[in-house]
Structure 1
């Protein structure tokens, strides 16, 4: 388990609806410092929040952040990108590359860069990766594919970092009430509820968070026949 009390937290995508809640909730739970990272960092009204520029698709930017923030004990890979539309056949090549770099390679490379530093805080260090319920349901085109890839990478990181005492938490959630989900009229989870659930699980020593009923149902469906998950495949 990883305590937020006295922790030094780094949040990617900190300017967004979920990211900003991670920043404030970490401090509310006793974090000593939060690095709030984004491509274009914003100003904050708390001296414990340190804004840093970070482009997770840029190796030099990742290296610069690790150098500027070597004292991190909790890394939260929250930054993500979703293209317009849901067809993997009609996404542009650039959209596919951007999603792979932002949603998969960026979090993986950042975790790899921080792994040795987190291992130095053995027993009280964590990586939190924000996946999506769509990792388990091919509805979002390349977004689903990249979140599925991140889920797999998180599982690998968890196994490899467990001997070093680094907790790796994977988070699955459906729609969250943020700008990214503004297009949907489906039920949406309050980002404050999501963040509280994630931190509760982290501090309890858990490895996976199914933050809403959508995630619970989709994970349960992984063992079902494909025709049950995707009725359109059933033979008429």
Structure 2
């Protein structure tokens, strides 16, 4: 797997890159946001420091997500919950706070890559009523209208639509969409569900079962 490490300090990414290479990854390093945006097109995963000198980390993510679906793990020195939630809402696949151990980072990289691969090979298209979800291109249409979603919004919708009879608990959603069962607030799910309902054009596309979880619904 080819990883791209984007960090502002030229010394740090080489140290991290060497550790990752010892775990079997091919690693390239860059030191600016513009280089990260350009280089991510040939990477299997991007490790992105949020404090790069030329472009804000969230803006880098926004630009990448306009035309590239590479998985992104954000690296930051701040562990505030609002920062993590905002980053995940913007499209990061995972978020790690320094200091972190190389074993933890490798485990997170492996989990993100495995989740991305599984999404791509299990089914290519889900049709649910007037909604069509293309898992290969990560595009969504409702009654022929294209719906633009963030990466996590898409992952959440695809999970719910993958089994229309299943009620997914909050714990299951946090584990399967965010690869995290404890460190993020459940409000993260509520925020994404609310955004999805708005973008899909009906609150009934996603049904809430109070005290249980969520499942895909049908518009009235």
With the shorter chain as reference, the TM-score category is 0.3 to 0.5
Identify which of structures 1 and 2 has the higher relative contact order when contacts are C-alpha pairs closer than 8 Å and 6+ apart: 1
TM-score when scaled to structure 2?
0.35
TM-score when scaled to structure 1?
0.33
